């Protein structure tokens, strides 16, 4: 595991990304906040298109999409 400070990760992002792509766990730290960047090795971790197709009826999808469209948009911090 390699830890880098936020400013270094920003200025050397290609290098940090390459480390993670090669399998190294990279922790990026800014003040007391830490996040990890790591490679996903198993594509089965990502649901394929249509994975949830049988979970909801057409009516439920319309209702949920309607509710979501009225939710307040909250910008990322």
Confidence at residue 45, expressed as pLDDT on a 0 to 100 scale: 65
CB 30 within 8 A of CB 8: no
* 6/28 Cα distance (integer angstroms): 6
pLDDT in tens, 25-77: 999 999 999 999 988 776 666 777 788 878 888 899 899 999 988 888 887 77
* 18/15 Cα distance (integer angstroms): 5
Q: Please, what are the domains in the chain?
A: 2-37 (3.40.1620.10)
Confidence at residue 43, expressed as pLDDT on a 0 to 100 scale: 63
């Amino acid at each position: 595991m390699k830890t880098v400070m936020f400013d270094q990760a920003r200025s050397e992002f290609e290098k940090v990304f390459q480390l993670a792509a090669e399998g190294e766990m990279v922790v990026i730290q800014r003040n007391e906040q830490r996040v990890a960047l790591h490679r996903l090795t198993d594509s089965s971790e990502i649901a394929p298109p249509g994975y949830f197709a049988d979970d909801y009826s057409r009516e439920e999808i319309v209702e949920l999409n309607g509710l979501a469209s009225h939710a307040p948009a909250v910008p990322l911090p």
